[in-house]
Amino acid sequence: MGKKNETLKKLDKMIDRIILHSDRFIEFTAFPYGLNDLEIDQIDSAKVRLVYDYEYFVFTKSTKTLRAIRELLNMEMNEDALILVRSMFEGYLSCRYLHENNDRLDDFIANPIKVSFAHFNINPSGEIVDREKNIKGKIINPSQFKTGMDKRYYYDFYDYLSRFAHCNFSIIDSYIDENTTFTHKKIHNEIASRLFAVFVATKIFELVVTVEGEEFINKRAERNCYKLVKDSLVLQEFVFEESIKELSVDINESIKYMSKRLKEMFKNMKKSLAEELGSIKK
């Protein structure tokens, strides 16, 4: 029990550190450069810098979501925190996809705005059309955003998070007590909710903050942000390894297959951290 509590404290501390550095980055660096260029008719530069705008938008939104996750964890509402982790994960996937496919800018900025103001509509086939019924785009499923090593764990991880976002009976154990009575006060998924929040938040932080390193306000801030990512990756490696070990012990036959899938998901998520390690060069 002592080891578990120590791990929970380390994960909680990491969440606090990510929020702290994210707040500072938003305050001193995040600015809608692309939208500003559009206002002064600098169209060519806006096309490039609107990608940054979208990244800063996702980063800011995810930081606020991480704050909400921290509050839910403090209230021991871990399952509800996992619902918000899914929201952050979807933001990360879209952010990384656009980062690597900036020719798809309209799908992430122009089309959603025009749909919002009813200049475009969405037809029953999920296509985005203008008022003359010309197809301008299509609603994109998050599964189409996965790139790189995210492809290895995406389906298992997204399925796991989605179970908590919907009334999926497979998670009933989180709402049943030792007397097989329904309860909303059970403390469950303590490690997973924190580990997955740190996992996704770190990926967003690495993608937006350390990749845009030239925007740091000073060298000290740059060193602190790189150290944050490194420390987070080391902690995640440790927690993933410990979780894999726990799933490797003798278990009840009826849950063996489920645990095997979870263990494979952990392994693939752990492997994906190598992409972050490779990009952190300082």
pLDDT band at 145 (very low <50, low <70, confident <90, very high): very high
Q: pLDDT at position 246, please?
A: 86
Region of poorest pLDDT, from 57-61, 103-107, 126-130, 257-261: 257-261
Residue 54 resides in a domain:
yes
Number of domains comprising the chain: 1
Contact criterion met (CB below 8 Å) for 156 and 163: no
pLDDT, average across residues 186-211: 95
Domain-located, residue 118: no
* For residue 242, pLDDT beyond 90: yes
Q: Is the pLDDT of residue 85 over 90?
A: yes
Average of per-residue pLDDT values in the chain: 89
Q: Percent of the chain, pLDDT > 70?
A: 88
- What is the band of 261 on the pLDDT scale with cuts at 50, 70, 90? confident
Predicted confidence band of residue 220 (pLDDT cuts 50, 70, 90): confident
The pLDDT score that the predictor gives to residue 53 is 93
**Using one digit for the tens of pLDDT, what is the confidence trace for 198-207?**
999 999 999 9
Average pLDDT over residues 86-107: 94
Count of other CB atoms within 10 angstroms of residue 204? 25
Does residue 147 have a pLDDT over 90? yes
Alpha helices in 109-255 (DSSP H): 110-116, 150-165, 190-205, 219-247
Q: Report CA dihedral (35, 37, 39, 40) to the nearest 10 degrees.
A: 170
Give the residue numbers spanning the domain of 232: 2-106+142-279
**Terminus-to-terminus CA distance in the chain, angstroms?**
36
Helix (H, G, I), strand (E, B) or coil at 258: helix
- Residue 35: band (very low, low, confident or very high) from pLDDT cuts 50, 70, 90: confident
Instruction: Please indicate, yes or no, if residue 171 is contained in any of the structural domains.
Output: yes
Distance (Å, rounded) from C-alpha 76 to C-alpha 74? 5
| Residue pair 19/67 in contact by the 8 Å Cβ criterion | yes
* Domain assignment of residue 129, yes or no: no
Q: What is the mean pLDDT of residues 105-122?
A: 89
Q: Find all residues with CB under 8 Å of 187, minimum gap 6, and list them.
A: 76, 78
176 found inside a domain: yes
Residue 125 domain flag: no
Please report whether residue 237 resides in a domain: yes
* pLDDT of 97 over the 80 cut: yes
Q: What type of residue is 164?
A: F
Query: Is 202 within the bounds of a domain?
Result: yes
